[in-house]
Amino acid sequence: MGDFSGTEPLVGEIVGLRTFRIDDCGLLLPLYSDGAWYDGTNTAVCAPPTGHHPRGPHAVPADDCECGFYAYGSAVAAAQNRHTRYVQAVVSCWGGVVAGTRGVRAEHARIDAIWISPAAPDWLRKRVAVRYPSARLYADEAAMLGEHPLTELDCYRTSVRRRLGPYLGAALIGALILALGLLPFEILHASLALWATWVLATAATALTTVWLLLGSHGAGHLAAAFVVAGVLAWLLAPVFGLGGWLLRVPLLRGLLVAAGGYLLGLRPHHFPVVKTAHERAFCGVRP
């Protein structure tokens, strides 16, 4: 069973918890798309970020696709998403619903209650209230969950442990790639083990870049191709001696931007407000 798939609960409305970004018009946006949720009923369509439909048109949500509105099944599961320290919303889900160990995906969803961190500016809070008149705004998370209890499904795993394995593995590979790309060429070439690792890592990175470019189905793949191309340039840097530092610039720049964004988020009274998309300029009515 997956995090958000595996079973189809046979109950009516299922109440879950999720987080949103908020734009400067007070609209609630998912973390990974600009498709705003509106007051009242929202209906999901299958539009994966990669634009790739694994099995053609189908009912939303489907077990073998990632579409549908997501909601965590418990406050513990939701807390693993760092963005929940800014915004949490209780949502009712109905229609087609599939559930997994951490939450549900649904065809229809409605925002019932919204908690916004005290760090959010007052004007933003007011705009959210105007945008979502049928949702109740809370200043206290516990009060919101007390008045809007989440549905408890049997398939939810009661203890949600952080799975460290994948993160550690990725960190290890990242550190290895950074180290290989920093070694002088003579040292790389002198040891058979180092040389074999470098050749394999470089070939795998090059193949991944090509695969991402050729198999590209949309913005997500292209962005990933750029990142992997940066890693490839980093790995090739030792071949060019001092000039190799030019090849290290893209990845260094990316790392600096990521670190800067992370540090910015750690400021005590920080609340991220998304800049309004161009089409919604002046916070006009629903497009």
Chain residues binding Zn ion by CB under 5 A are 46, 65, 67
Report the residue number, 67 or 128, with the smaller CB distance to Zn ion. 67
What CA–CA distance (Å, rounded) separates 230 from 223?
Answer: 11
Residue number with CB closer to Zn ion (48 or 250): 48
Q: What's the closest the beta carbon of residue 204 comes to Zn ion, in angstroms?
A: 30
Q: How far is the CB of 100 from Zn ion (least distance, A)?
A: 15
Rounded to whole angstroms, the Cα distance separating 64 from 246 reads 43
Q: Note every long-range contact of 216-221, with CB atoms under 8 Å and residues 24 or more positions apart, other chains counting.
A: 217/50, 217/51, 217/52, 218/49, 218/50, 218/51, 218/52, 219/49, 220/49, 220/50, 221/50
Q: How far is the CB of 219 from Zn ion (least distance, A)?
A: 17
Q: 198-225: string of b/e by CB count within 10 Å (b at 16+)? A: beebbeebbebbeebeeebeeebbeebb
Separation of alpha carbons 272 and 97, rounded Å? 31
User: Quick one: 65 or 78, whose CB is closer to Zn ion?
Assistant: 65
Cβ 60 to Zn ion, closest distance in Å?
6
Rounded to a whole number of angstroms, the minimum distance from the CB of residue 71 to Zn ion is 17
- Which helix (H) or strand (E) covers residue 104, if one does? strand 103-116
- Give the DSSP H/E element, type plus range, for residue 138: strand 136-138
When the beta carbons of 35 and 265 are compared against Zn ion, the nearer one is: 35
Q: Which is nearer to Zn ion, 52 or 253 (CB)?
A: 52
Smallest gap from Cβ 105 to Zn ion, in A, equals 10
Closest CA to 235 of 178, 284, 175: 178
Nearer to Zn ion, 105 or 131 (CB): 105
